Structure 1
Amino acid sequence: MREISDAIREGADGFFAVQYALIAKLAVALALVIYLTYSARALTKEQTEAGFTRQTFAVLTTIAFLLGAACSAASGYVGMWVSVRANVRVAGAARRGAREALQVALRAGGFAAIVVVASTVLGVSFLFTIFAYVYDVGRPNGASMHDMPLMLVGYGFGASFVALFAQLGGGIYTKAADVGADLVGKVEAGIPEDDPRNPAVIADLVGDNVGDCSARGADLFESIAAEVIRRVLYTGPRTTAAMILGGALAKKANIPDATGFILFPLVVHALDCVVSAAGIMSVGSSSSGGGASQHPYEVLKGGYRVALALSVVGFLIATRAMLYVESAPGAWFSFFVCGMIGTACAYAFVFIAQYYTDYAYPPVRVIAEASTTGHGTNIIAGVGVGLESTAAPVLVISVAIVSAYWVGQSAGLVDAQTSAPTGGLFGTAVATMGMLSTAAYVLTMDVFGPIADNAGGIVEMSDQPESVRDITDQLDSVGNTTKATTKGYAIGSAALASFLLFSAYMDEVQAFTGVPFQVVDIAIPEVFVAGLVGSMTVYLFTAYACTAVGRSAQEVVTEVRRQFAENPGIMTREVKPDYSRCVSIVAASALREMIKPGVLAVSAPVLVGVVFRCVGAATSQELLGAKAVAGMLMFATVSGILMALFLNTAGGAWDNAKKYIETGAHGGKGSDAHKAAVTGDTVGDPFKDTAGPSIHVLIKMLATITLVMAPMFLD
């Protein structure tokens, strides 16, 4: 077991070093573009009066971008570091019992998740503190608090940039190796999954770490960082500079001390680390309600309920302590209700994901039954389940957004100038905080999946008894469900807060031009066309990601077939396969293939803004570039949410349909139904582990890049 684990670790370390060296070069190049963009931008009146210069903003935003990128890369390393050490421990624990293996995998995932969340809080707090100290924020003749988010936007963009390329490269690596290994090993040669005779098996196991753990570590950091900044960043109506969301509300409602409103998001995530740790530790090796025979997913949900209950208590205390307003004594409770709406939304997502991806429920069994009539019917059923699965999450998100907005609007806070009710946007932001109040535990379940999958491979390659493999197979199946849960959860939180970004972007444009910009009119032909381009970008990005996996997998298939043909002794175990050859092929291909979709994601909003800015100048249409980018962002977000939900859920359902048949249903392993299910799983692999998670990052990066690059779109 240790020998196999060491080989996996060496492969993961090598790919990580080469991949992140390339990402670092791309990040430095983009940092130069950001610096030049901000060096040429105009400043608002308030910024000029505070003593800022263009160079100041250029340097601050560039440094923040590089720091965000570095922190995201470090989070990716934490994910990989944990997984390559935990896999063999989980495999060893599986020899002693299912519950112990589950506990080891869960705590390993918890370590990575809590480090990521804590790093996000520390990173944002560090920037906030340094910026405030150096520029005397809030003091006489010092900088305005309103300018603080400009630095944070660069931080979020850096995190998004690294996460996108990490997810693309890692996702292409893991699925190319997985697909290549399955197509030749399981379908053509008829050998089991993770069989040591398969030359691509080590590359497949390495991929679990660099694709699911390392890439997901960077992605998870970016997710939390982006959500914090989305709730922190806001530009209130009729203001002239970027403002902290809580500070904007406090100013409009004439609340003397806005400290609690400003720091509330960071406090919620700090509490998240505590309550999620308690939930993780509540999952014992042989206790915790139900005994050792309890289904693993129910055990994980038991820990989630503990974290959820504690988060409700912590949220109640935090809202009362930080959001109490003397002029509206009941406002804090309204915001607490908003948080509970978000918490209920999160819990709903857990059940929706389980229903569509766990083979205990009808959707996955429908796919398994369709496999009995062939490969084509399996694909049709899987696509149908994936498309259907988008409905329930959208309805839940819609109810949550509307409910949270109106509860926040009725909190009793009024605009000091207009006497109109205010607090709706902040209520929606608090709902997002409620949804993410147990994010660390949900992220724990995400990292749990690939660790369990890796452990199963080690068990298979080290010729452990079938009973041990049965344990790791069950944990792997649960991991497919937990990964689908986390991905849907992340998409839901992004959707819940997405329209805040529209307001942030439009008011930033208004701040630097002085021209009212509060409505995006899609009846303007150029804006509608830009929206279509935004939707097209999502589909084209998905195509690039999936075809990248296909091309890389073809190289693996060719190599595995070559080794089987030239060395027949591999099948009789007389000759050991050349694992390193497949590892190097997949690594080179993944690094090459990740560039095209990555460049598309970064360049598309910039090109749309610049092109339509020129069109606007030629046709005398004011702010056409900025309006076009807003339309693109709106359409791309909606298309991306639906596409990501479809890809993530369909892929997880196909995978577990295969797992269900492998339990003995419809003929079990080796049957025609099993072969059809393997085909479905192969199609679903790039959906759920490459394109789907990458679209999740794409949505947030499009939002942050429009905020950072806004000066390029202005007349």
Structure 2
Amino acid sequence: MFADLRTKCNHIMQIAVRAGGFSALVVVGMAVIGIAILYAAFYVWLEVDSPGSMKVTDLPLLLVGYGFGASFVALFAQLGGGIFTKAADVGADLVGKVEQGIPEDDPRNPAVIADLVGDNVGDCAARGADLFESIAAEIISAMILGGTMAQRCKIEDPSGFILFPLVVHSFDLVVSSVGIFSIRGTRDSSVKVPLEDPMTILQRGYSVTIVLAVLTFAGSTRWLLYTEQAPSAWLNFSLCGLVGIITAYVFVWITKYYTDYKHEPVRTLALSSSTGHGTNIIAGVSLGLESTALPVLVISISIISAFWLGRTSGLVDETGSPTGGLFGTAVATMGMLSTAAYILTMDMFGPIADNAGGIVEMSQQPESVREITDVLDAVGNTTKATTKGFAIGSAALASFLLFSAYMDEVSSFAHESFKQVDIAIPEVFIGGLLGSMLIFLFSAWACAAVGRTAQEVVKEVRRQFIERPGIMDYQGETRVWSLCCYCGICIFEGDDKTGCFGYSITNCRWYSIPNFGTLYWTSSPRSESCGCSVDVCNSFWYFNGSLSEHSWWCLG
């Protein structure tokens, strides 16, 4: 991508998007293929549906360990990657921008390489592990719920309800690939084409992906979820999937509004930075808190809508009671994740553009080249936040499914009905409180780890600037020390799993605050409102010729 920056314009987008798309397709493909192989292996090995052997409706219960392993790895990938990238980012900015007054990604800053590597670790590897875990959990829980519902409704061939999640995500690979390849650029280096707004290009590809996802989802429901017992059930479940797709689109729009430098929230933060550190911090935190409202409302509406559509699908059990409600929410979650590969592509796009900009700055390329990377970097910040917001919504729906699947699994093994949890029982209520508390304790430990690691980075960079003053004149030899990421983990399990449920409810909201809040601080330097102008050559932010406001934002 760096080599292409000097000769072409719009073709840059094609390179960055397709590079990110390859990684995204691998992540989603591994989740689907891994579960499919396990399902097929267990089906053949255990001789499922043979006389005296396991029923096919019980087979998905054996796949729970796959989801647990994915969640376990995702925890360390996100926490370790987050500590690495934030510590390197803080260390590079505090010493480089604020203390030494040198541009971002300047080769004289010893922490620049760690900062660039941190983007890959925290935004690519960690986010990929996050969505891998969400997709795996959603597929397995939906397979469990589909098998349980088919068993209760006495459906003759339950395979369609069990395999439906795998088929949907297989189509995700296809439709996302079409969306990725729909982004094309100018290949002729002699033709100078103005750089189109990168966000517009990405949204165009996302629109293509959504249209194809709706069509393939409807076809999949008619193919696999049609049953003679309820001929119109597939249509209700198709609408559930449409609810999930709309939810994903609304989440992308909400995140874009709160984090794009063209919209009011980021510009408000840019204005607040002109009056000092305190107002910068207050504005960022308040906007982060405010941004939790709309996602909660959207998730609530989608769960209720999908549950109602599933419940009115016409599928009933032996007693005549509707049984499709929970499976309807599972189908909505599938719909939300039916474009996960393209969403993850947009996330991968951000670090690729950021690293290209870093190489441009370190190699002292012309100002015209840096202008292009600045635009791509600003859009990349928004797309990274979009993926985080998407992950929050999918995790909220997936946690609801996991809790429901857990209750079904308990009922299956205990041969007793387990349909509700009584929060009036002191032990259960305390479990919910402890689960909610765990989020704040875990966040405190993670922030402390980032702070301690950042202090070591700052000390090392300061030492090199003091001992090697020739660095500022490009006469010193720059060294970058490796960073050690350390973290702590607390595992808690309470009665009726209410602690974990409280953990999930609190986590979805708490995660939104730093997600949007930090992106405000990241995007605000890109805003040119309130009398600000961006010096794209040096990546400095000036207010009427003053550098003090830039340092206030940087500290925020």
* Short-chain TM bin: over 0.9
Does 1 or 2 have the higher relative contact order (CA < 8 Å, sep 6+)? 2
Q: Which residue of 2 aligns with 1:105?
A: 16
Aligned equivalent of 1:356: 258
Cα distance change of structure 1 residues 507 and 259 upon mapping to structure 2, 3 Å threshold:
closer
> Which has the higher mean CA deviation after the structures are superposed, 424-433 or 517-526?
517-526
How big is each residue's C-alpha offset from its partner over 1:109-135, in whole Å with a ceiling of 9 and x where there is no partner?
Answer: 100001111111110000001011111
The alpha carbon displacement at 1:487 in A equals 0.9
The amino acid that maps onto 2:25 is I
Instruction: Tell me if 1:153 matches 2:153.
Output: no
Q: Which amino acid aligns with 1:213?
A: C
Letter aligned with residue 397 of structure 2: L
1:226 match: 137
Distance in 2 separating the partners of 1:179 and 1:97: 33
Q: Which residue in 2 is equivalent to 1:507?
A: 408
What CA distance in whole angstroms lies between the structure 2 residues aligned with 1:98 and 1:208?
23
SS at match of 2:552: helix
Instruction: Report if aligned partners of 2:70, 2:133 keep a CA contact under 8 Å in 1.
Output: yes
1:391 to 293, 305, 310: 293
> What amino acid does structure 2 have at the position aligned with 1:650?
G
TM-score by length of 2: 0.94
Name the amino acid aligned to 1:332: W
1:654 matches 2:525: no
CA displacement at 1:253 relative to structure 2:
2.1
TM-aligned CA distance change 1:203 to 1:497, over 3 Å: closer
* Match of residue 679 from structure 1: 555
Question: SS in structure 2 opposite 1:438?
Answer: helix
Cα deviation code 1:553-583 (max 9, x no counterpart): 000100111111111100011112112x2xx
How far did residue 293 of structure 1 move? Answer: 4.1
User: CA shift at 1:349, angstroms?
Assistant: 0.6
Q: Deviations over 1:517-545 (max 9, x none)?
A: 32222222222211111111111111111
1:72-471 → structure 2 map (5 Å cutoff): 90-233=1-144, 245-286=145-186, 292-415=194-317, 417-471=318-372
Would you say the 8 A contact 1:286–1:292 is kept in 2?
no
Q: CA deviation at 1:471?
A: 1.1
CA displacement at 1:222 relative to structure 2 = 1.8
Q: 1:273 to 1:670 in 2, by over 3 A?
A: farther
Report if the CA contact (8 A) 1:662-1:669 is conserved. no
TM-score between both structures, scaled by the size of structure 1: 0.74
C-alpha contact 2:58 2:147 (8 A) present in aligned 1: no
The answer (yes or no) to whether the contact 2:134–2:398 under 8 Å persists in 1 is no
- One-letter amino acid matched to 2:196: Q
Q: Distance in 2 between matches of 1:404 and 1:144?
A: 28
Counterparts of 2:405 and 2:229 in 1: how far apart (Å)? 27
Kept in 2: contact 1:339–1:433 (CA 8 A) = yes
Q: Distance in 2 between matches of 1:412 and 1:512?
A: 27
Alpha-carbon separation, structure 1, partners of 2:54 and 2:150: 18
Q: Which residue of 1 aligns with 2:538?
A: none
- Partners in 2 of 1:530 and 1:320 — Cα distance? 42
Give unmatched runs, 5+ long, in structure 1.
1-89, 234-244, 610-625, 681-715
Change (3 A) 1:466 1:411: same
Shift of 1:267: 0.4
Q: By how many angstroms is 1:477 displaced? A: 1.1
Which residue in the other structure is 1:78 paired with? none
For residues 540 and 98 of structure 1, the distance between their equivalents in structure 2, rounded to whole angstroms, comes to 47
- Is the aligned partner of 1:545 residue 2:467? no
Report percent identity of matched pairs.
58
Distance (whole Å) between structure 2 residues aligned to residue 668 and residue 569 of structure 1: 31
Cα shift readout 1:626-662 (whole Å, capped 9, x = no counterpart): 32xx221221111100001111111111100123256
Q: How far, CA to CA, are the matches of 1:382 and 1:162 in structure 2?
A: 31
CA drift at 1:391: 0.6
CA contact (8 A) 1:372 1:666 kept: no
Q: Which letter maps to 1:604?
A: F
**Aligned match of 1:488:** 389
Kindly provide the amino acid, as one letter, of the partner of residue 673 in structure 1.
E
Q: Which residue of 2 aligns with 1:694?
A: none
Find the aligned partners of 2:136 and 2:468 in 1 and give their Cα distance: 50
Is the CA contact (8 Å cut-off) linking 1:338 and 1:428 kept in structure 2? yes
SS at match of 1:106: helix
> Residues 593-652 of structure 1, C-alpha deviation per residue, up to 9 Å, x if partnerless?
22x1xx31xx222xxx4xxxxxxxxxxxxxxxx32xx22122111110000111111111
Structure 1 residue 514 displacement after superposition = 4.5
In 2, the alpha carbon distance for the partners of 1:197 and 1:398 equals 50
Give the partner amino acid of 1:674. H
Q: Out of 644, 669, 688, which is 2:511 matched to?
A: 644
Choose which of 403, 411, 429 in structure 2 pairs with 1:528.
429
Give, in angstroms, the shift of residue 671 of structure 1: 2.3
Q: Is the 8 A contact 2:97 2:104 kept in 1?
A: yes
Structure 1 residues 577 and 662, CA gap change in structure 2 (3 angstroms): farther
Letter in 2 for 1:563: Q
Q: Residues of 1 paired with 2:325 and 2:125: CA distance? A: 37
CA distance in 1, matches of 2:456, 2:77: 21
SS at match of 1:437: helix
Backbone CA RMSD of aligned residues: 1.7
Q: Is the 8 A contact 2:9 2:186 kept in 1?
A: no
Which AA in structure 2 matches 1:270? S
Q: Whole-Å Cα distance in 1 between the matches of residues 265 and 383 of structure 2?
A: 16
Question: How many Å apart are 1:166 and its aligned residue?
Answer: 1.6
Please list, as runs of the form range in 1=range in 2, the aligned pairs for 1:580-659 lying within 5 A after superposition. Answer: 581=481, 584=482, 586=483, 588=484, 590=485, 593-594=486-487, 596=488, 599-600=489-490, 603-605=491-493, 609=494, 626-627=495-496, 630-659=497-526
Letter in 2 for 1:414: V
Q: Quick one: distance in 1 between partners of 2:307 and 2:127?
A: 31
CA deviations on 1:212-255 (whole Å, 9 max, x unpaired) are 2223332332221122112123xxxxxxxxxxx22222222222
Q: What does residue 684 of structure 1 align with?
A: none
Distance 2:27 2:86 in 1: 24
What is the one-letter code of the residue matched to 1:663? V
Shift of residue 198, structure 1, vs aligned partner: 0.4
CA distance in 2, matches of 1:418, 1:170: 51
Q: Deviations over 1:397-453 (max 9, x none)?
A: 1111111111111112222x1112221111111111111111100010011111111
Distance 2:62 2:152 in 1: 23
What SS is found at the alignment partner of 1:663? strand
2:470 aligns to what?
A: 569
Q: Distance in 2 between matches of 1:461 and 1:293?
A: 23
Q: How many Å apart are 1:668 and its aligned residue?
A: 7.3
State the alpha-carbon separation in 1 of the partners of residues 506 and 291 from structure 2.
15
1:358 is displaced (CA, Å) by 0.3
Query: Following TM superposition, by how much is the alpha carbon of 1:380 offset from its aligned partner in structure 2, in angstroms?
Result: 0.5
- The code of the aligned residue for 1:464 comes to Q
Distance 1:641 1:669, change over 3 A: farther
1:674 offset after TM fit, Å? Answer: 1.6
| Matching residue's letter, 1:186 | K
Structure 1: distance between partners of 2:301 and 2:49: 39
How many Å separate the matches in 2 of 1:252 and 1:666? 66
Per the TM alignment, residue 513 of structure 1 is displaced from its structure 2 partner at its CA by 3.8
Q: Is the 8 A contact 2:8 2:186 kept in 1?
A: no
The C-alpha deviation readout for 1:291-335, integer Å capped at 9, x for no partner, is 844311111000000011111111111111111112322111111
